[in-house]
Amino acid sequence: MDYHVTSLTVEQTREWGKQLGARLQGGDVVALIGDLGAGKTAFAQGVGEGLGVTSPMTSPTFTLIHEYIAQLKGTQLRLIHMDLYRLQRPEEAEVIGVEDAFVENAVCLIEWPEIAEDYLPDDRLEVEIIGSGEQAREIIFRAPNCTWESRLKDMI
């Protein structure tokens, strides 16, 4: 099921991410889809805030992967933020260890996930952000099953 929301500002995009972050749990994989400048990193920063990350979050465009310490209901958790924009072939996702991030003690956010689609779990949440520049953003949450739907329904 798809849930659609609108964001008029970067702050609202971050707030939608924060609301999602508060609903995530270890083992979750979130694929962030959108054009350059759509707000994927701002959304990811909100997710980090919702998970209690206290260190500054930046785009991992050049390093590919950043890892942060998060707190989930008093339990330490890793937040793994990937940006696969620079990958040229799907096999490179395997080489950098994308699948190694899909573990129970981590939440994994992946920007530009399309290149690694064959390596991603089916039970991932897709968040598509449409728009760029000064435009309003449409944020679409694609819930693949009833478990995700129940976690998202009070947010939307």
Q: According to the model, what pLDDT value does residue 145 have?
A: 83
pTM, two decimals, is 0.91
One pLDDT digit (tens) per residue for the chain, 156 residues: 899 999 999 999 999 999 999 999 999 999 999 998 899 999 999 999 999 998 888 877 667 888 999 987 788 999 999 999 888 888 888 888 788 889 999 999 999 999 998 899 999 999 999 998 888 999 999 988 888 988 888 887
Using the structure block, give the residue that is written with the tokens 């962030």. Answer: 32
Domain 2-152 listed as CATH 3.40.50.300: yes
Q: Where are the domains of the chain?
A: 2-152
